[in-house]
Structure 1
Amino acid sequence: MSKRWMLALAVVLTSQAQATQHKDPASGCAVSAPAYLASSDYVFSYQGVCRDGLAEGQGKAIWTLKNSPSHREEWAGRFSAGVYLPEPAQGLKARALRGDNVLFDLGPLPKLEGMSPRLAVEATSELTKYPDPCKPDTLFVLQADGPALVSDDVAKRMLSSALDKLKLRCGDDRLRERGRPGGERSHVRVRMVPQTDLEFDPYGNPKGIVVEATLPLDAGKDFSQYSNSVASQQRQRQAREERDALKQANAQRLQAFAKPTGASLWVGLNALAQNPFRYQDQIVLTAVRLNEVVAPTRARVMAVGGGYQSSFALVEGEGLAKWEPGARVLAVRVLGRLPNTDAALPAGLHLQLVGQLPCALGDCSDRLSLPNPLRDGEALP
């Protein structure tokens, strides 16, 4: 590593998070420039227009090496809020961000779906080189705020328009050049925010990113790393609405099934098995899986979702011989326990079938996914 690069790295590591401002001691006018030029080896001066202590309009910033006055860095041209504007500077604005980073405002993008976006470009200075929007770190689409962004097609068109505008300003060859080692640039990152200006959190991260992607400079290639939080949130809302509608439909279906049977309570099979006498002679709803049909009118069932502690019961009623394997919601009359003499289920839970509602899923979640979960002994929704 060369001595010059080592010095540059040391200066960058010790620089503050705020923009590096170089102030002319004579005029008090400041210019945002690389931290490298702030070393004690250079003497800074500025000639030109100044506004609120910052270089504005036409001017010239000069850094002269103390030990070699013939060697100096000179930025001559237009300035905006202390930031040097590379040519073409017409219509370009800028402001310092943090460290050696600046943000260039390149003006409006094409209006799209009621939105009036603008293009801003973040760029970084290095050593003695001024930041250049044609050597961008990130492109930002400002004022990207509208319901149409739920469409990925609209969002991608806006992202592409940002890159197209920068290509028109810089030219493809210049845009491909990197300001630092690493080879030719092939992609540019573009981010979209709803705000009129870019804002940062205390850690230097931009706030409010709604869409972002890495766009290839080669035409015809697909985006990479694309994400659209507006579309994602919309899909999540739609999914929630669909789930809520399904839960409400399940509740209505369960009520329609229970009403003619006379069932008004939900009691899980495990709770019934623990104390059937609490619900003696009542008709309740419960969910079971068929274990085996032991006789044309008798079937052995087990609790749905009971795990290793799943309880069994003997259900009696007509039509059990036609049951197929699977889960179902039952309306049953609680008869109590079988006598100890019953060989199939000694002292087991004894139920009488009143009605059944077959489930498509083994846990009956297609029937029992409700706005509010069912609880043992509570009235049906």
Structure 2
Amino acid sequence: MNKSLALVSSLVVMAVSGCSSQLDNQTASGSYDYLDAEQSDTFRTPEELDKPEFSRDYELPELSSEANPNLVGKKIPVTSPALVHPLVKGSHVEEGTRQASVIFDQVDDSIPLEQAIWQTLRSFLEKHEVPVASFDQQQNRLVTEYFVASEEIEDEDSPWYALSDDINADRKRKFAFTMQVKPHGRTASLTASLVDFKEERGDEVKDAINDYEQRREEVAILNQVIAHYEYQIQLDNTRRLAEIRQGLQTELGTTAQDTPAIIVDGQYNVVWPRMLLVLRKLGFDVKDLDKSNGLLFVTYNGEDEGWWGNLFSGDDELLEQGDYRLQVAPQNERTTVLFMDDESQPFDSQQLSEVYESFSKVMSQDDLDI
């Protein structure tokens, strides 16, 4: 008798204790008695009496034709709205839009914005092992195969005395991503749309969801793409920083116009930021710069900074203190550095060879301070 009582007591405690379930957090709390309420008759006044005036302040509006009449009681979702998270630098959302969309602005000029977005999306799909069902480059529309997710969810029909009320559910979702690019090519929007949905709960198959659930699915997948985009940017920045810190080999050569120049064995996007470090180490101050044209306006101070101080000094000064200009330009997979005076007159071969040794030593040094 005591054992039976203990077992029953334990089952009761398990049923009424514990944290709120996921279902409880998604449904409205309180009584649902209003579902059984009936419309009362209007106030009827005898014909021989005057009808009183009634206030219409609390009159319920008519149900819109677009409203879902099934969203009542426990079926009304009370979770917070799904919001798009524009984590990528230069990204934002358009206020008032009901689509799962994000707008990107061109920040990095090393790759066209449209190409960068599609590369990020394909990389995201490869990471999750989801094939591309179709890609229409003319329409800027990509459709995925199914994302498959297995999870345990609460069984609403589970009896209170069941030891476990969780069942396995497989969700399959197929999305379409559409891009709209502005004519200037420096702004583009990416929109995610759910085109197919299936959920299997044991023998039960669900192939339709309401507007709220669809919105959450679309925003969730778009936020994952945005987060992957930001991760790729951070990863590229880390790799690029490592390349900037790594020494680069140089040699004397000429530009495409046969002007004497220093050839750096590195791509322009790596050589350009490294030039700022090299010039600082050599005693130059950068007064102005224009990355798009590769121009650097500098002043050589000839100041003594440790062992770097005598690079351009000696019995015969290699450079006079004053203003100079440098032209940095891409040349296939390498980069040319052209030294000029303040009148944009390029150094001749003799002048450049006198500067080259010191420049080459610093450019080839590893782990320059950032």
TM-score normalised over the length of structure 1: 0.28
Greater RCO, CA 8 A, separation 6+: 2
Which has more strand, going by share of residues?
1
Q: Max radius of gyration: which structure?
A: 1
Which has more helix, going by share of residues?
2
